């Protein structure tokens, strides 16, 4: 095989690709079976029907404490004409579960009996046949079908099987999946070589191999089992050899991870076509477009994209259904809920998009906040609460337009989410953790859109609170003038969170000898900015105006990031020389810091939410000594006024 670029000439829609998958792989009866003890069969699928070997109960038994009688002997008894019975003759004391004495067909409850002495009792009402009696076979009758084939055993089923005299069942063996990670840029974090050098010594261009482990655990979650092949470089002959050897073993599905795209070193398509047939290369979904579906010796072989979210989406849309099909199980469907996007969301026409969103309820509306859309951002799915599928025939979603979201977390958990929108600060992560430590059912979900963006979210009613550090250039105060201007008709309460040091983040030892804001206009300095509307951007513009510096003279002024940590990372990786951010971000990544100002970071909370249980839990966490201690440990913060309510005179 020689290196050449693949071209997506015949991409399929998701529906078409699934139809091909379903048509090409019947998979009926592919899995062999094995016998196992009933208690060990929970979660497994029956390969054969199971019939009862024993009736349950296997005798007539008393269902109440009392006396067992033949119903005929009680006929005619009443309050005015009570009947006397003799213990041991026509009445017999029994407890719940006792075998019914011969000739008896009913039980009179102990509380309905008046004992005259040890041998004689009086009853004042008749009974009827089989009253308060569990008949033989009432629950299970020997030879009846307990469970059909393809039934998945639950803990409840164990009781029925054992009660029916079944102690061993035949179950389907788990589908075997081989996962072959490929990529010359990948590093195996479990290798001896990596353990010697450590994570801090990864070279530029090297990437930790994680997809095989994620996909493997997804296989297990579907009821299969996986084998992770040794990490392979981008060597088509080597990849082909491993695939060829795997065909001789008991693998039901083969997955090659990476190498499915259109790059010159993406070989999955060539490997499959040289040994079998490529059924699909490219599906009109995002993420996950480069997925390959192939067939070699009647076995399904997949080329899964290397970007983490693409890999997950491709697996869930194609591999997961196949595993359930092998097991004879219906594919579980995620619960759905109607949600409203908090802003307009554009999408590419002709592509079905799987948009990851954060969810929360505000004023009984379930609101959806889009997550980053990059296929390489694994946190866009680990932090997501749901997925909105945008059809390929529309160009996006309108703000507040009701749409359906698949839930990744229970709806009850989403209803217990505090939605925070606005400026980013490192203390928010500590606050979220502090809340979860004390209240595991409450989640703080924050979205970083800048301080002004947070105030606008309050105005639209799409959050519970906003983080803000907006400097008033006239009087040097924070946030109050902006609240009066942008939220004149919305009563809010301003709660002080922290004072923090804001300044220039620079590489260790300050190689460019930067001394302050004035150096940003130097031609040898590349700057990274924060997004418009952020408090940090407003602070910078204020300082530039104060110093008479034209923003257009600064290289990188128009390049921005949404968090302080993203600014610090840009400095760390050398793509820029300097950024404006908080000291805690610089300290976290071992960078140097030049102080510019100590600023005030506050929480803006609408009055209508302030007394809610969720906000009170948040405020309790803020005022805790543990929270303050953890914040101080970050460096560059003061908590002397943390939790203070700031008066707003309107």
CB neighbours of 341 closer than 8 A, spacing ≥ 6?
Answer: 357, 367, 368, 370, 388, 397, 398, 399, 400, 401, 403
Joined tokens for residue 553: 């003279």
Phi/psi for 538 (5° steps) reads -65, -40
Among residues 394, 308, 305, the alpha carbon closest in space to that of 353 is found at 394
- Encode pLDDT of 220-251 as tens digits: 999 999 999 999 998 999 999 999 999 999 99
Residue matched to tokens 């400097």: 471
Phi/psi for 69 (5° steps) reads -140, 170
Residue matched to tokens 């006396």: 67
CB neighbours of 59 closer than 8 A, spacing ≥ 6?
Answer: 99, 100, 136
The enclosing H or E element of 497 equals: strand 492-506
- Encode pLDDT of 481-523 as tens digits: 999 999 999 999 999 999 999 999 999 999 999 999 999 999 9
- Encode pLDDT of 515-568 as tens digits: 999 999 999 999 999 999 888 999 999 999 999 999 999 999 999 998 999 999
Do the beta carbons of residue 466 and residue 458 sit within 8 Å? yes
SS3 288: coil
CATH of the structural domain 451-646, one choice from 3.40.190.290, 3.30.56.10, 3.30.420.40, 3.40.228.10:
3.40.190.290
Do the beta carbons of residue 357 and residue 373 sit within 8 Å? no
* E strands, 50-105, in order: 50-51, 61-62, 66-69, 83-86, 92-94
Rounded Cα distance, 477 and 599, in Å: 9
Among residues 175, 177, 198, the alpha carbon closest in space to that of 187 is found at 198
- Encode pLDDT of 286-301 as tens digits: 999 999 999 999 999 9
CB neighbours of 602 closer than 8 A, spacing ≥ 6?
Answer: 467, 468, 469, 478, 479, 494, 495, 496, 497, 646
Rounded Cα distance, 55 and 423, in Å: 67
pLDDT of residue 267: 85
Judging by beta carbons within 10 Å of its beta carbon (0-12, 13-18, 19+), is residue 396 exposed, middle or buried? middle
Q: What is the mean predicted confidence (pLDDT) over 262-274?
A: 78
pLDDT of residue 4: 52
CATH of the structural domain 14-28+175-327, one choice from 3.30.300.30, 3.40.980.10, 3.20.20.70, 2.30.140.10:
3.40.980.10
Q: How confident is the model at residue 413 (pLDDT cuts 50, 70, 90)?
A: very high
SS3 89: coil
CATH of the structural domain 333-410, one choice from 1.10.10.10, 3.40.50.970, 2.40.340.10, 3.30.450.30:
2.40.340.10
pLDDT of residue 468: 96
Sign of the alpha-carbon torsion through 75, 78, 84, 85? positive
State pTM to two decimals: 0.87
> Does domain 33-56+139-172 sit in CATH 3.90.105.10?
yes
pLDDT of residue 323: 97
- pLDDT higher than 70, residue 5: no
For 3-17, 152-166, 450-464, which range has the lowest pLDDT when averaged over its residues? 3-17
Joined tokens for residue 494: 């301003």
Q: How confident is the model at residue 7 (pLDDT cuts 50, 70, 90)?
A: low
pLDDT of residue 8: 57
Among residues 464, 454, 421, the alpha carbon closest in space to that of 606 is found at 464
Do the beta carbons of residue 419 and residue 339 sit within 8 Å? no
- pLDDT higher than 80, residue 418: yes
Rounded Cα distance, 589 and 429, in Å: 16
Q: What is the mean predicted confidence (pLDDT) over 416-432?
A: 95
**Class level of CATH domain 61-134:** mainly beta
CB neighbours of 92 closer than 8 A, spacing ≥ 6?
Answer: 67, 68, 69, 101, 104
Compute the half-sphere exposure of residue 463: CA atoms within 13 Å on the CB side of its CA: 27
β-pairing, 386-390 with 352-362?
antiparallel
For 7-16, 373-382, 486-495, which range has the lowest pLDDT when averaged over its residues? 7-16
- What DSSP string runs through 97-156? TPBPPTT--EEEEGGGEEESSSSEEEESS---TTTTEE-TTSSB-TTSEEE-TTPBP-HH
Joined tokens for residue 367: 């609101």
Q: How confident is the model at residue 10 (pLDDT cuts 50, 70, 90)?
A: confident
SS3 351: coil
Compute the half-sphere exposure of residue 104: CA atoms within 13 Å on the CB side of its CA: 28
Joined tokens for residue 612: 């809610």
- What DSSP string runs through 566-600? HHHHHHHTTS-SEEEEEHHHHHHTT-EEEEEEEEE
- What DSSP string runs through 548-565? T--GGGSTTTT-EESSHH
Rounded Cα distance, 316 and 187, in Å: 25
Do the beta carbons of residue 631 and residue 532 sit within 8 Å? no
Residues of the chain with pLDDT > 90: what percent? 88
pLDDT of residue 204: 82
pLDDT of residue 376: 87
Adjacent-strand bridge partners of 602: 468, 496
Q: How confident is the model at residue 82 (pLDDT cuts 50, 70, 90)?
A: very high
- Encode pLDDT of 37-46 as tens digits: 999 999 999 9
* Angle made by CA atoms 278, 263, 570, in degrees to the nearest 5: 135
- Encode pLDDT of 137-175 as tens digits: 999 999 999 999 999 999 999 999 999 999 999 999 999
pLDDT of residue 52: 97
Parse the chain into domains and list their residue ranges: 14-28+175-327, 33-56+139-172, 61-134, 333-410, 451-646
Among residues 635, 596, 598, the alpha carbon closest in space to that of 504 is found at 596
Residue matched to tokens 């006929």: 75
Q: How confident is the model at residue 3 (pLDDT cuts 50, 70, 90)?
A: very low
């Amino acid at each position: 095989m020689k290196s050449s670029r693949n071209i997506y000439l015949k991409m399929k829609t998701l529906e078409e690709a699934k139809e091909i998958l379903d048509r090409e792989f019947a998979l009926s009866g592919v899995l062999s079976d094995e016998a196992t003890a009933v208690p060990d069969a929970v979660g497994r699928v029956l390969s054969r029907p199971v019939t009862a070997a024993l009736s349950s109960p296997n005798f007539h038994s008393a269902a109440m404490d009392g006396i067992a009688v033949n119903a005929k002997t009680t006929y005619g008894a009443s309050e005015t004409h009570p009947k006397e019975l003799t213990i041991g003759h026509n009445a017999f004391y029994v407890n719940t579960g006792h075998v019914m004495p011969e000739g008896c067909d009913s039980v009179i409850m102990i509380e309905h009996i008046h004992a005259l002495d040890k041998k004689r009792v009086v009853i004042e009402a008749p009974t009827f046949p089989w009253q308060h009696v569990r008949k033989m076979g009432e629950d299970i009758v020997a030879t009846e079908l307990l469970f059909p084939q393809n039934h998945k055993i639950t803990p409840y089923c164990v009781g029925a099987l054992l009660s029916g005299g079944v102690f061993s069942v035949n179950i389907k063996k788990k589908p075997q999946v081989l996962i072959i990670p490929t990529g010359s840029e990948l590093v195996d974090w479990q290798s001896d070589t990596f353990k010697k050098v450590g994570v801090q010594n990864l070279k530029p261009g090297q990437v930790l191999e994680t997809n095989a482990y994620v996909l493997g655990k997804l296989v297990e979650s579907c009821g299969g089992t996986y084998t992770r092949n040794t990490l392979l470089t981008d060597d088509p002959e080597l990849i082909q050899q491993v695939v060829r050897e795997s065909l001789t073993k008991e693998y039901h599905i083969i997955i090659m991870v990476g190498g499915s795209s259109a790059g010159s070193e993406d070989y999955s398509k060539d490997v499959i076509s040289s040994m079998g047939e490529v059924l699909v290369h490219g599906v009109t979904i995002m993420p996950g477009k480069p997925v390959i579906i192939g067939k070699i010796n009647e076995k399904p072989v997949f080329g899964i994209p290397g970007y983490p979210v693409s890999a997950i989406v491709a697996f869930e849309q194609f591999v997961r259904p196949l595993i359930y099909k092998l097991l004879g199980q219906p594919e579980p469907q995620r619960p759905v809920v109607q949600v409203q996007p908090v802003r307009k969301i554009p999408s590419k026409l002709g592509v079905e998009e799987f948009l990851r969103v954060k969810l929360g309820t505000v004023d009984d509306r379930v609101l959806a906040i889009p997550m980053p859309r990059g296929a390489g951002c694994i946190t866009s799915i680990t932090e997501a609460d749901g997925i909105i599928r945008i059809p390929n025939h529309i160009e996006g979603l309108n703000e507040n337009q009701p749409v359906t979201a698949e839930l990744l977390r229970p709806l009850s958990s989403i209803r217990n989410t505090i939605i925070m929108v606005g400026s980013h600060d490192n203390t928010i992560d500590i606050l979220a953790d502090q809340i979860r430590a004390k209240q595991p059912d409450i989640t703080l979900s924050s979205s970083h859109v800048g301080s002004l963006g947070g105030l606008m979210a309050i105005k639209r009613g799409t959050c519970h609170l906003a983080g803000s550090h907006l400097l008033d250039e006239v009087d040097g105060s924070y946030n109050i003038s902006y609240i009066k201007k942008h939220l004149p008709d919305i009563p809010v309460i301003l709660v002080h969170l922290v004072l923090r040091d804001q300044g220039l983040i620079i590489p260790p030892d300050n190689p460019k000898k930067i001394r302050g804001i004035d150096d940003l206009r130097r031609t040898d300095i590349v700057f990274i900015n924060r997004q418009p509307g952020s408090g940090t951007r407003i602070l910078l513009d204020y300082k530039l105006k104060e110093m008479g510096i034209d923003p257009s003279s600064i290289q990188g002024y128009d390049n921005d990031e949404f968090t302080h940590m993203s600014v610090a990372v840009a400095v760390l990786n050398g793509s820029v020389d300097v950024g404006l951010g908080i000291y805690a971000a610089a300290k976290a990544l071992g960078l140097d810091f030049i102080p510019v100002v100590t600023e005030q970071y506050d929480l803006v909370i609408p009055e209508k939410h302030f007394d809610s249980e969720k906000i009170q839990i948040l405020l309790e966490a803020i005022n805790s000594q543990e929270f303050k201690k953890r914040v101080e440990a970050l460096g560059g913060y003061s908590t002397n006024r943390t939790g203070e309510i700031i008066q707003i005179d309107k």
